């Protein structure tokens, strides 16, 4: 075989290999984007976190929760969980939360209320809600809707976390955050860890009302 012929064959083989490599890369990118090569880290529960810049919340509703020690102001996030926010507003305006205890309070974890029976098993007469999981991370002062093992069992009970709780991310619907008075939540009577945080003679919500626009 002549030198020119050998060179020509090597060039052709190189071009074929390059075409195969490029075509394979295109196929992988396309189908991986559809999840056919396994789910990406970005879609896993462990990766749920607060990402990107926060939106302008100046027009978002605020709930004022009055305690015996003062007032806790809660910014609601209808952009994240519109149905849950509407539920909190409806129950607050109806007076449902007035006198309801913080029945479960665990040091360093969270304070839970919204059950008139104080047992952790009660709720309102309204239908349970479907989850509205979002990409916000549970950090100090954020509010989540409590539920049973069933994903669509959220009703009226909610909790406020004391510290970062990444294990809750993507598992409970986050719908708001305390913007004033978190020290009052810190001061709530705590329950016994041996009794899953259930509080004896608990503190109570005096009232919860939507702050009226000025």
Q: What is the pLDDT of residues 2-22, one digit of tens each?
A: 455 555 556 555 554 544 444
Could you give the CA distance from residue 45 to residue 172 in angstroms, rounded to a whole number?
11
C-alpha–C-alpha distance, residues 171 and 27, integer Å: 34
Q: What is the pLDDT of residue 193?
A: 87
What SS3 state is found at 158? strand
Residue 196's Cβ-count burial label (10 Å; 0-12, 13-18, 19+) is: exposed
Class of residue 159 by CB neighbours under 10 A (exposed 0-12, middle 13-18, buried 19+): buried
Contact 117, 158 (CB under 8 A): no
Measured CA to CA, the distance from residue 112 to residue 96 in angstroms comes to 15
Q: What is the pTM of this model?
A: 0.75
Strands 104-106 and 62-67: unpaired
d(CA 126, CA 155): 7
For position 96, what pLDDT does the model report? 98
| 131-142 as b/e: b if 16+ CB within 10 A | bbbbebbbbebb
Judge whether 62 and 179 are in contact, CB under 8 Å. yes
Provide the residue-wise pLDDT of the chain in tens; the chain has 214 residues. 445 555 555 655 555 454 444 444 443 333 333 332 233 333 333 333 444 467 888 899 999 999 999 999 999 999 999 999 999 999 999 999 999 999 999 999 999 999 999 999 999 999 999 999 999 999 999 999 999 999 999 999 999 999 999 999 999 999 999 999 999 999 999 999 889 999 999 999 999 999 987 5
Sequence-distant (≥ 6) Cβ neighbours of residue 109 within 8 angstroms: 161, 162, 163, 165, 197
The helix/strand/coil state of 143 is strand
Per-residue pLDDT tens for 104-116?
Answer: 999 999 999 999 9
């Amino acid at each position: 075989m002549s030198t020119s012929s050998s060179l020509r064959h090597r060039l052709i083989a190189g071009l074929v290999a390059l075409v195969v490599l490029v075509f394979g890369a295109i196929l992988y990118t396309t189908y991986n984007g559809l999840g056919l090569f396994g789910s990406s880290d970005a879609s896993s529960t462990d990766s749920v976190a607060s990402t990107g810049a926060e939106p302008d919340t100046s027009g978002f509703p605020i709930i004022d929760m009055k305690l015996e020690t003062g007032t806790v102001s809660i910014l609601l996030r209808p952009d994240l969980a519109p149905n849950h926010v509407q539920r909190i507003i409806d129950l607050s305006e109806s007076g449902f939360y007035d006198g309801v205890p913080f029945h479960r309070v665990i040091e360093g974890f969270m304070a839970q209320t919204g059950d008139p029976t104080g047992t952790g098993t009660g709720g309102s007469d309204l239908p349970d809600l479907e989850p509205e999981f979002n990409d916000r991370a549970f950090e100090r002062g954020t509010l989540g809707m409590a539920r049973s093992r069933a994903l669509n069992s959220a009703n009226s009970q909610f909790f406020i976390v004391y510290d970062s709780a990444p294990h809750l991310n993507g598992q409970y619907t986050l719908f708001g955050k305390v913007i004033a008075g978190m020290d009052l939540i810190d001061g709530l009577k705590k329950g016994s860890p041996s009794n899953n945080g259930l509080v004896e003679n608990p503190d109570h919500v005096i009232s919860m009302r939507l702050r009226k626009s000025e």
